[in-house]
Amino acid sequence: SQTIHQWPATLVQPVGSPLSLECTVEGTSNPNLYWYRQAAGRGLQLLFYSVGIGQISSEVPQNLSASRPQDRQFILSSKKLLLSDSGFYLCAWSGLGAFFGQGTRLTVV
Amino acid sequence: LAKTTQPISMDSYEGQEVNITCSHNNIATNDYITWYQQFPSQGPRFIIQGYKTKVTNEVASLFIPADRKSSTLSLPRVSLSDTAVYYCLVGDGSGAGSYQLTFGKGTKLSVIP
């Protein structure tokens, strides 16, 4: 069966520091991969999606970037974090519908 | 992109049946309809998925009319643990249709003792 791993679960980073969140999927090949962000009490905002290695589509211009160096690996990065980057970040893969990791709670201080 | 519209919130007493309706007027031929449940600080959890008519599993039923422009998630005999946000998603992430899986604002269901 397919599983998705996302880490770390929580992260506290100072303003201006870099960020790297990693997501890996097992049990499927060539999945479509997604990064979402959820602010407190808000809905899911699609940030990036990828349909293959090296193929990244950005939904919202911002301080973040994404990369897909391997078929089942999706990375969310930032060179310099802003306070407004705080939130709950979720990685997902899709077949028919999306299947989510457990999320990373990022607090920028 | 198929956009969805749901009620922002609903309240229900324990033991009642709850129906949450989602509107998706511009659903595409290849799009499936999927419902998710999300608890605070957790990723959304798949509940049920359908294309047309009625689908039932051990936790919910999904009703989709012939025109597919709406769908209704039915939760039988809710309990306090069903208090969560419920999202309707319309899309086909498998690639036959749009790759973009964009969620609506969700419905916050509060179950009252």
Which pLDDT score, from 0 to 100, does residue A23 have? 96
| A→B interface, C-beta within 8 Å | 32, 34, 36, 43-44, 46, 49, 51, 57, 59, 88, 90, 92, 94-103, 105
- For the record, the structure tokens of A22 come out as 């990693």
CB contact under 8 A, A97 and B89: yes
Going by C-alpha positions, the residue among B89, B57, B51 that lies closest to residue B74 is: B57
To test the contact with chain B by mutation, choose from A44, A86, A106 the residue with the greatest count of B C-beta atoms within 10 A, namely A44
For residue B54, what pLDDT is reported?
A: 95
pLDDT tens by residue, A29-77:
888 899 999 988 888 888 999 989 999 998 886 789 999 999 999 999 9
State whether B46 and A92 contact (CB < 8 Å): no
Digit-coded pLDDT (tens) for B68-95:
999 999 999 999 999 999 999 988 655 5
What does the pLDDT look like over B44-76, one tens digit per residue?
999 999 999 899 999 999 999 999 999 999 999
| Residues in chain B, total | 113
pLDDT tops 80 at residue A97: no
Identify the burial level of B91 via C-beta atoms within 10 angstroms of its C-beta, where 0-12 means exposed, 13-18 middle and 19 or more buried: buried
Comparing CA positions, the residue from B56, B50, B60, B59 lying closest to residue B27 is B50
Answer for the pair B23, B37: CB distance below 8 angstroms, yes or no: no
Q: Does the structure show a pLDDT above 70 at A83?
A: yes
Q: What is the mean pLDDT of chain B?
A: 90
Of the candidates B32, B99, B106, the beta carbon closest to that of A97 is on: B32
